[in-house]
Amino acid sequence: MISACGGGSSGDTATTSASAAGGGASGGGDVQLISSGKLTTCTNLPYEPFQFTENGKVVGFDVDIVDLAAKKLGVTQDIVDIDFAAIKSGAALNAGKCDVAAAGMTITDERKQNIDFSIPYFDATQALMAKKGSGITSLADVKAKGLKLGAQASTTGLDYVTKQGFDPVQFADSPKELLGLQTGQVDVIVQDLPVVLTWLKKPDIGAKFEEVASLDTGEQYGIGMKKGNTALAKVINDAITQARSDGTYDAIYKKWFGTEPPKTS
């Protein structure tokens, strides 16, 4: 496993040192990266506004957060699109497909068994989305009206509604879930609130659909890493902590969500 030193590589035998390239990260030892000069990120596209393709380039909130760590290491970020199930299970990290996983991924005890997480970088909640005028204001309404509920596979939104007694139609990714709602395969969907709000900003979607309920699930997102990769975890945690203290985090948050981050974050 090889990588390049920040500010220049001495060849294929170089390693990236968290203390040398980190600009303040120290005591983390050498960070071993799977590709020289790159911090490789596994994600699941698209998941706007966290990661999606725009003008041929992958951009988003998660991309900017990981870029902070890449800058500390003196490398560039390389993004790999992969199935979310392979990300949350740790399979992609264990197979050496990426150094980190950033996919709007909630930190859970179950996932902690397979991967290590950074400190939280985003406070999340779930939302219900349905046609305007549906009369739905809660999950209880969905059940009472006998409506079809949709959810994205392998997500905490799916887990949440399943624990509430629902057996939702599962979609492989968020675009397919939205399409399922638009084509009437389901009557209502559960999805992360920021994703729903981003969808509703699009005129063709906002004209017909709306957020009908917010589900306060108390979730937080984290950057995933292979278990035991403490050196890389330190660099990422230092990058997040520094960004929160120097105003960089606020600027990134406002760039993608249009508001200042909640003071409780």
Residue 19 — very low, low, confident or very high, per pLDDT cuts 50/70/90? very low
Q: Quick one: 124-219 is in which CATH superfamily? A: Periplasmic binding protein-like II (3.40.190.10)
Rounded (to 5) percent helix, strand, coil in the chain: 35, 25, 40
Give per-residue pLDDT as tens, 190-249. 999 999 999 999 999 999 999 999 998 889 999 999 999 999 999 999 999 999 999 999
CATH of span 16-121+222-257: 3.40.190.10
Whether 55 has a pLDDT exceeding 90, the answer reads yes
Check pLDDT > 80 for residue 145: yes
- In tens, the pLDDT along 68-82 reads 999 999 999 999 999
* Two domains, one topology: 16-121+222-257 and 124-219: yes
Domain map of the chain by residue range?
16-121+222-257, 124-219
Specify whether the backbone of 48 is left (phi greater than 0), alpha (psi in -120 to 50) or beta. Answer: beta
Q: What is the pTM of this model?
A: 0.78
Average pLDDT, the chain: 89
Range 162-168 average pLDDT: 96
Q: Strand 115-117 and strand 188-192: pairing?
A: unpaired
Predicted confidence at residue 157, as pLDDT, reads 95
Q: What is the pLDDT of residue 27?
A: 34
Burial bucket for residue 13 (CB in 10 Å: 0-12, 13-18, 19+): exposed
In this structure, the number of other CB atoms found within 10 A of the CB of residue 251 comes to 12
Per-residue pLDDT at 216: 86
CA count, 13 A, side-chain hemisphere, 79 = 22
| 18 confidence band (pLDDT: 50, 70, 90) | very low
